[in-house]
Every structure is written in C-alpha cells, then in structure tokens.
A and B are shown apart, each in its own frame.
Chain A
Amino acid sequence: DTAVSQTPKYLVTQMGNDKSIKCEQNLGHDTMYWYKQDSKKFLKIMFSYNNKELIINETVPNRFSPKSPDKAHLNLHINSLELGDSAVYFCASSPWGGRLEQYFGPGTRLTVT
C-alpha cells in the first residue's frame, strides 16, 4: 500500500537516449510534483501539476516533458539525455493548497553515461 511509487528505481542509459520515469500516488491528492536532487544533494522543483494541469515549469529544458494521464499519475519523459541529467528524481504529491505535507516517492537514480 505504497503511497507514492516510482519506477524504475535505477536507470542507467547512454547519452542521446530517450527515457521515461513513472510515478503513481494512491492518496487521492490533486497535486503532483517532480523534483531533481543533484550530486550535492540539492533539491529543486522541476514541475508541478494540479488535476492534470501544469502549474509550474521551473526553467527546465524542454527535453523534459511531464505527462499526467490522470490525477494519480505524473510521468516524466526525457529526450536526448545528457550527462548533466544524472541525478535522483523524486516524485511527490499533496492536497491542493499546500496545507498539508508533501509525500515523496523513493526516488529514481538516473545515470547517464
């Protein structure tokens, strides 16, 4: 009964490839997020979706395209992967309004070689 799940947990791929990371939440939350944690452990918001609609896109290259087929899922597709994309990507969800805490998925460690 995992609240926020992500697949895969680890992803190793070569530069130039296209890959996707999937995220699902079973909490009934309206809002979902993608965060990136770099090698120095700095966490930064990438995207925020509320009820399948994009709320924010924080200066993320357009090689990154989130897709929300329904409000329980927010997938992240990355085109033409670059070395600098190597990081841990966290999905999170919360009720709309930020009045309660965000629940995070376990993370996907992406390594681009």
Chain B
Amino acid sequence: GEDVEQSLFLSVREGDSSVINCTYTDSSSTYLYWYKQEPGAGLQLLTYIFSNMDMKQDQRLTVLLNKKDKHLSLRIADTQTGDSAIYFCAVPGQDSGYALNFGKGTSLLVTP
C-alpha cells in the first residue's frame, strides 16, 4: 500500500512563510492533494497538483512536486493565525479504488 509521511508539528510566527513537507511511495499517483482540517471541522480541499507539474501557485499557496524524490511540499505565504489547522497530504491509491491515503497530518500553529 501507499505510505505517506509528514512531520507532525510546525510552529511559525504570523507573517512568516510556512512550509509543510510530505513524502510518498507510489510513483504512479497522478494527482496529489492537500487538505486542511480546522479544529472540530471536516476536511477542506486546499489544492492539488497533477503529477506532470513541478509547481502550482494559488494565491498564498504554492505546491512544489519533486517526482524523482517523491516529495511534495505546501508553502503558505504570509501565514495568518487563521491558518492554524492540521494539514494533510493525500495520495490516491491505485489499487484501492482511488481512495486517498493520508499522511498523519501536520499541526500548524501560528503565533502572533
């Protein structure tokens, strides 16, 4: 099965950039996703990237993909306190009906 790894915690100061990293094992994945979960809430799709892209930018979010190293990152520019949440990297499993394999989630804490 797919293994998706993330660091568990990240703390940044308001206004700084946050970078959340993810590594995965299945190189056949065509789409890779970032989801956000605020306390007590559901999962919100933040962004996704096609595997034939190296970078995708969407306002304050930048996703970088290194297919050779199977490394995905999410950069949040000008991080705000409202960005405090858990961020999940997710990769579809090719042998699991495209169900998502999630990393353990990175808890981002933004301090004033």
Contact = CB atoms under 8 A, between A and B. Distances in A.
Interface of A: 31, 33, 35, 40-45, 48, 50, 55-56, 58, 90, 92, 94, 96-107
The 8 closest A-B pairs by CB, nearest first: A98-B98, A55-B97, A48-B97, A45-B99, A43-B102, A104-B43, A98-B92, A106-B42
Interface residues of B, number: 24
A43 B2 CA distance: 13
B82 to A, nearest CB: 19
Nearest to B50: A99
Contacts, number: 69
Given A48-B96, A90-B42, 4 more contacts: A45-B99, A45-B101, A92-B43, A100-B31
A105 B43 CA distance: 8
Interface string B27-41: 000110101010001
B88 A101 contact: no
Contacts of A42: 102, 104-105
B86 A45 contact: no
Given A48-B99, A94-B98, A98-B98, A41 B105 contact: yes
Contacts of A58: 96, 99
Nearest to B92: A98
B105 A45 contact: no
